[in-house]
Amino acid sequence: MIDMKNLLILILLFLKMTLLNAQHTKGVYYVSGRPGEHGIWLSTLDSATGTWNRGDKVLLNGVFDGDAVDPDVVLLSNHTYRLYYYKGYFVTPPPPPPHGPRKIYSADSQDGVNFTINGVAFEHHSITDPSIVELPNGNYLMACAMIGQTTIQSIISLSIDGGLTFDSLTTIQDTGIPELFVLSDGSVRIFYNGSGGIISSRSYDNGVTWNTESGLRLSTTEFIGDPSIVKVENNKWLLFVKGFNSSGDPTPTGHKIMLAESNDETNTFNLIQPLILDSASVPEGVFISNPNTSVEENQLLTFQNEEILLYPNPASKHTTIKFSFHNYSNCLIRLYNAQGQLLKTISNINTSKVHLDTQNLTEGIYFIQLETNQQIIKTAKMIITE
């Protein structure tokens, strides 16, 4: 039985999610293939019609840069959008060779459209298509495609300065365009196109070593690539991929963006929309907050962007609780069992990482709840095994 307090908590969560869904917009960054539009754009979903609009030009230092491509966006703990991109020569004639190493840049934004350039984050020969994630330990991992004459490799690099600069870590052979994603157990999965669809490899040591996983994450009969994954609900993940339209054009004019969905933490995806944007390439899924919301609504949207990461999970003797909320002074962590009974409260938190002793817990399902100022920010499920 769930007591009245926990029933009230469930009702408040429902009301909060109703507001969040109304004020949160699903978006996808992409490179437009339409004449005169080459560069990075942000498309948003019209929830009333279910259609994706062409959206807005992404501005870098106030300029729409047609040489900037391959967007990847990370939401930072201060609720800033950080865009990583490759800058080449697509509308600007290239200088005489040698051209030197290719450069991945980063830029920050409060609204997801107007970005201020930070500078070069990583440079290496023959790289494109960056993908970046924050690791459970607070460092950042980047994967870039290294395109050779016959194969594509992924070079993995690491940042220990908050994602501003990266150093090479390792290389994964025979991959397509990479997409990194951190799973609930703290491991990192890298997705890329392979025979029959999207396949993956996985790392349990923060990107140092990788093992190829069996099976397909998404099975298709047509060629797809450039995967991008975004978590949209507690049990829903979206996968954006690039396909080809019927024009036969190998440039972004001949590309299209497709959408798939997973309900098992990215293990398997099913295609739900074979076309969301035509003449569009290199998709990057994102959540965009409505800038016209009130202060209270924006505070709730800020909370929605918080994540709780438990590792290991399932746990036996201990687990680590990591969360991105930065106002530690007013935070509480509460531990509930599956019957809604409060078992433990952790207060006086002064860090984003808390270690929890679980060896006295019996086997079963538990819930970790992060609160501040008597408001529930996030709830995560924890499994205890013998």
Question: Which pLDDT tens digits describe the chain residue by residue (386 residues)?
Answer: 445 455 555 444 444 444 444 456 889 999 999 999 999 999 999 888 889 999 999 999 999 999 999 999 998 877 789 999 999 999 999 989 888 899 999 999 988 999 999 999 999 999 999 999 999 888 999 999 998 777 889 999 999 999 999 999 999 998 989 999 999 888 999 999 999 999 999 999 999 999 999 999 999 999 999 999 998 877 899 999 999 999 999 999 999 999 999 999 999 999 999 999 999 999 999 987 654 443 333 333 333 445 677 888 888 888 888 876 555 556 888 898 887 788 999 887 777 788 888 988 998 888 888 887 666 767 788 888 87
CB 127 within 8 A of CB 110: no
Same topology, domains 25-289 and 306-384? Answer is no
- Rounded Cα distance between 277 and 287, Å, is 17
* Secondary structure (3-state) at 47: coil
CB 19 within 8 A of CB 299: no
Q: Taking the domains of the chain in order of start, what are their residue ranges?
A: 25-289, 306-384
Q: Which pLDDT score, from 0 to 100, does residue 324 have?
A: 65
Q: Which pLDDT score, from 0 to 100, does residue 108 have?
A: 96
Total residues found in the chain within this entry = 386
Q: Which pLDDT score, from 0 to 100, does residue 351 have?
A: 74
Residue 135 has which token pair?
Answer: 């690791």
Q: Which pLDDT score, from 0 to 100, does residue 365 have?
A: 86
Other Cβ atoms less than 10 A from the Cβ of 243: the count is 19
* Look-up of token digits 């330990």: 137
- Rounded Cα distance between 90 and 87, Å, is 9
Distance of CA 278 to the CA centre of its chain: 23
CB 274 within 8 A of CB 258: yes
Q: Which pLDDT score, from 0 to 100, does residue 215 have?
A: 96
Report in angstroms the alpha-carbon separations of 27 from 7, 58, 106, 112, 279: 33, 13, 19, 10, 17
CB 291 within 8 A of CB 111: yes
The CATH code that applies to domain 25-289 is: 2.115.10.20
- Please tell me the number of Cα atoms within 13 Å of 371 on its side-chain side: 17
Sheet containing strand 308-311, edge to edge, reads: 308-311, 318-323, 353-357
Helix axes 295-304, 4-23, angle to 10 degrees: 100
Q: Which pLDDT score, from 0 to 100, does residue 14 have?
A: 46
DSSP code, position 386: -
Helix (H) or strand (E) holding 296: helix 295-304
What homologous superfamily does CATH list for 306-384?
Immunoglobulins (2.60.40.10)
Our CA dihedral for 332, 333, 335, 341, rounded to 10 degrees, sits at 20
Q: Which pLDDT score, from 0 to 100, does residue 1 have?
A: 44
Peptide bond into 130 cis (omega under 30): no
| DSSP codes of every residue in 82-149 | EEEEEE--SSSPPPSSP---EEEEEEEESSSSEEEEEEEEEEETTEEEEEEEE-TTS-EEEEEEEE-S
